[in-house]
Structure 1
Amino acid sequence: MRVTKKLVLGTAVTAVALALAACAPQAAPGGGSGDDAAGQSEVTVGILTSETGPLAGYGKQYLDAFKAGLDYATDGTNEVAGIKIAVEYRDDAGDPDKAVTAAKELIGSGVNIIAGTASSGIALALAEQAAQNKILYVAGPAAADAITGANAYTFRSGRQSAQDVATAGTFLDDVSGKNIAVFAQDNAFGQGNVAAVEAILGGQGATVTPVLVAEDVTEFTPFAQQVLAAGPDLVFVAWAGATSGAMWQAMSQQGVLDAIPVVTGLGDSATFGAYGEATEKISFLNHYFPGANGGQVEKAMIDAIESAGGAADLFSPDGFNAAIMIVHAIEEGKGDVDAMVKALEGFEFDGPKGTTTVRASDHALLQEMYQARLVADGGSFTPVLVDTSDAESVAPAEAR
């Protein structure tokens, strides 16, 4: 296997779970410590993510990369330390009830490792199942901060929202004393972003000015003017849905993008053309785009995905990381639940985004983040790296 383990960021080890199933003698679901567990010759991993439904595109990115990562981490054998790794795939269709039902079926058959999902709501429901049944759950790409530290059995293979917000702060030389406007919809998504900016950047000394817009609004000129009137040092935009184009047009026409640095998150490649005339004036915080890291592991991931007929995208590292983490845990623990999770806590490895660390205390995944711009490229736009934020500088606060 091509990754190495190093314990970092403290040595506290919690008795947690991770492991196996699918061949006799099987440990009981939720179990896994002891001689029977350690004697497994095959481990089955359950992957739950959206193959259909509104998040199917994200699910495909994850699945393509997971398969590439499993091949990479096992040198093409799907085996490690003499243990065969089998995979059962389940479509959650973006439905928490369907996901929980599938998880229960997998657990009932003896599966002690599950991973996946792009939906934060589903991830939190699966984390509950992991705690109740004492199995390992590796979430990703779901970004809700509540997944980190949810319980002793839950890890994650992607970034979380706090890392996005911390990256937004890197567009200012010094956050302290600055006024940051949050321009967002007045719904749970927008309010959650306001709360995150207040907690993270407000905690660093910034004044946070929310500019919230009702979801049924279609004329955004007054709100763009409200942003200008607030005189912020930075505008953080958190927006989703069909009104995005009209919103960005108003921000551009009212001169907000010329007067004030405006930052938003860069999504997957399908969104690159969604910003209209505002595109090249926006600064983007970014989890990942192909070429952002430029290292050998990233190249291996991109090449493998493309060889299989796919294309690397925003959530490819989440799937690739999940495979590396699971293979490492099986290699080190050889079927013993507590030993396998102990192997993951503090695990440092080379991933598609460079050096990546599972924080031992709460299982946050520490990783570099990016600043990017979109530049015109014929009839489309291409992301260009502006700067890289190292993992420690954008690390989330430890979950309590």
Structure 2
Amino acid sequence: MVGLVGIWYRSRYRLKQIGSLVIATILLAATLVALANVATAQAPKSTIKIALFQPRTAPALNFYGTWAIQGFHLGLEYATGDKKPENLALLMGLKEASYSLPDGRRIVVKVFDTQGKPDVAISKAREAIEEWGADILAGETFSSLAVTLASIAKQYKKLYFVFPAAAASITQDPVFNKYVFRIARNTDQDAAAMTYFMVENLGYKKFAFLAADYEFGWSYMESIQAALSKYPGTRIVALEWVPLTATDFKPYLLRINASNPEVLGIIWAGDFSLIIRDLSALNMLGRIPLASVMIDLFTTNYINNCVPGVQGSLINLTAVTYDAYVRNRASQTPLYGVLEKMMKEENIYPYDFLKGNPCKALDKLSGARVPDLWHPPAFATAQFIVEAIKAVPDLNVDRMIAFLEGLTLETPMGITTIRPEDHQALRPFYIVRYIVDNDPNSDTYGLTIGEYIATIPPEKVAPRILTSYKPYPKTFSVSIKSPLAGTAPFTATLTAVIEGGTPPYACEWRIEEKSMSGTSITYTFTNPGIINITLSCTDSIGLRANASAGIVILKPEVTPTPQITTPQTTPQVTTPATPRPEQAIDISMVAVIIAILVMAGIAIALMRRRSR
């Protein structure tokens, strides 16, 4: 009995000893905080250089490059807030143009002429990176050259924003890599929009195609076949591959005519006026409907106003468009209206190369200051680049990639989101009606333009995901797994419990003015009290997460003086054995846990009572 009283007394003493520690532990536990998504950043880069690649002196598609440069310039002005109309002339002259960010840093852009040649594109890319010091790559009209630039971006670990090149393969394996982003649309989206409209709206089943025999055409036709496979009963009755340098299209068109298609799709980038000429000469134009896609004002007005025998044939027809000029589109996409206004304010003429054209409609178009096919996506690309530069001032490439993945912005194309799995932007397409502009105050007065009818939502034209890429995790947090208490000297295993982030992780522990590294450590506590533990972990892309915890270390127990009892005279009666010291420790530790729970319950009850 005396032994049991001794045990109770010692347990009571130990409870009293740790009473204040229990309260302090509860308060400490209530303030434990894990900080996530705090980036480790080096000093911001004061000057950011963007190399913009376009085929300025190529024999074909150079005017697409001009539109891309114009749109990119306007997008940089809008996104930085630094309006410098004079910069456009510098860019067109292959000279440096500077745009200032609100924080005082500068974005410097320079155009590099790829001439539409792969070997030149490679040499210019190396010049831009190794000699000029480019931080970010952008542009290129030819899809085959964009494929080459994508591999260089991977080699040098530089972000590459593709536009206007539209081949879907650029954002698909094996070409795609994590450094490649495309805000502009691709051929998969084009094909999905075209087939959606041709089949679901117009009811066509038998298709013929005349396609350019290079990367763009191959990718487009592969996309068309995939899109048509979703519609039972549709089929391709003729497919003619034509060299991009062809000038006589009659042999190809005659074979197409013999297949009796319900509709003809022309898969061609740039000027296809010669195709229209030969269609007209063979009496096929108007007899076989063309796949209704409004590409740009140049093509639209050539067909509707310049080809003998078919003038006015487009008026009141409906079509799908990507980014051709549509006068009332600003009602659906407010930034399209901003782009229109900026074009006029800075007197930007996309069609000045048509000045003096013998077709009066095209000559008039040369004086129009309106956005066309590549202005909206180029503008939007600049928006996304500037947002990434603002968000990651030190230009850590992996952190910029993580930031851009899933980013959504309002752009002149509509609400635009970068899909994390392949870095292809998702955006709406539009259904329009061909009309004659009857506004005498308009730059396109008397010309054929588009009138907005309806929006095709992004999910209806979303391209296939054909990559094995795994996007960066968006969250990163850490907590500490450790014992609540122990008796000195106490050896404990401490583990960082990590969620999210990108491995490998680097963790630094701080305990009693000592530092240790690793995601799991062993530490011996020798000093009684509440010992604070802090942990800081960094993932491979520089995201940091912090956590802290406390552990209660008790004083070593003093072994009590052994109790001496006198043996009883009755042989059958023995004195109860005194429990071993470790039994007392077990009981007291149970008491500690019970006390913590009781104190926590009291604290909660008091808070609830006060809240009333």
Shift of 1:368: 0.9
Shift of 1:81: 4.4
**Which residue in the other structure is 1:358 paired with?**
418
Shift of 1:193: 4.1
CA distance in 1, matches of 2:198, 2:73: 38
Shift of 1:253: 5.9
Distance change in 2, residues 1:338/1:195 (3 Å) = closer
With 194-203 and 341-350 compared, the bigger mean Cα shift is at 194-203
**Secondary structure at the counterpart of residue 309 of structure 1:** coil
With 272-281 and 141-150 compared, the bigger mean Cα shift is at 272-281
Q: Any conservation in 1 of the 2:279–2:285 contact (CA below 8 Å)?
A: no
Shift of 1:225: 4.7
**Secondary structure at the counterpart of residue 289 of structure 1:** coil
Match of 2:320 among 264, 278, 285: 285
Shift of 1:144: 0.4
Find out whether 1:271 has 2:299 as its counterpart. yes
Match of 1:300 among 338, 362, 383: 338
**Which residue in the other structure is 1:211 paired with?**
238
With 96-105 and 122-131 compared, the bigger mean Cα shift is at 96-105
Shift of 1:50: 2.7
Q: Any conservation in 1 of the 2:55–2:65 contact (CA below 8 Å)?
A: yes
Shift of 1:70: 0.7
**Which residue in the other structure is 1:60 paired with?**
66
Find out whether 1:46 has 2:51 as its counterpart. yes
Find out whether 1:245 has 2:277 as its counterpart. yes
Match of 1:398 among 453, 465, 479: 465
CA distance in 2, matches of 1:362, 1:308: 35
Name the TM-score, length of structure 2 as normaliser.
0.54
CA distance in 1, matches of 2:321, 2:208: 17
CA distance in 1, matches of 2:249, 2:229: 28
Find out whether 1:126 has 2:132 as its counterpart. no
Distance change in 2, residues 1:161/1:254 (3 Å) = closer
Find out whether 1:200 has 2:238 as its counterpart. no
Shift of 1:43: 1.1
**Secondary structure at the counterpart of residue 376 of structure 2:** helix
Q: Any conservation in 2 of the 1:47–1:116 contact (CA below 8 Å)?
A: yes
Distance change in 2, residues 1:292/1:237 (3 Å) = farther
Distance change in 2, residues 1:253/1:66 (3 Å) = closer
Shift of 1:90: 1.6
| Alignment gaps of 5+ in structure 1 | 1-32
Shift of 1:172: 4.7
Letter in 2 for 1:238: I
**Which residue in the other structure is 1:7 paired with?**
none
Match of 1:107 among 122, 129, 136: 129
Find out whether 1:93 has 2:115 as its counterpart. yes
**Which residue in the other structure is 1:236 paired with?**
265
Shift of 1:365: 0.9
| Alignment gaps of 5+ in structure 2 | 1-38, 83-98, 243-247, 349-368, 438-444, 468-612
CA distance in 1, matches of 2:378, 2:253: 40
Shift of 1:300: 1.3
Shift of 1:282: 5.8
**Secondary structure at the counterpart of residue 170 of structure 1:** helix
CA distance in 1, matches of 2:381, 2:195: 28
Shift of 1:361: 0.8
The Cα offsets for residues 328-363 of structure 1, whole Å up to 9 and x where unpaired, read as: 111111122211121111110000011001101100
**Secondary structure at the counterpart of residue 386 of structure 1:** strand
Q: Share of identical aligned residues, percent?
A: 26
**Which residue in the other structure is 1:155 paired with?**
181
Letter in 1 for 2:122: V
CA distance in 2, matches of 1:196, 1:159: 13
CA distance in 1, matches of 2:48, 2:220: 39
Shift of 1:308: 1.8
Letter in 1 for 2:191: V
Larger-gyration structure (1/2): 2
Q: Any conservation in 1 of the 2:194–2:320 contact (CA below 8 Å)?
A: yes
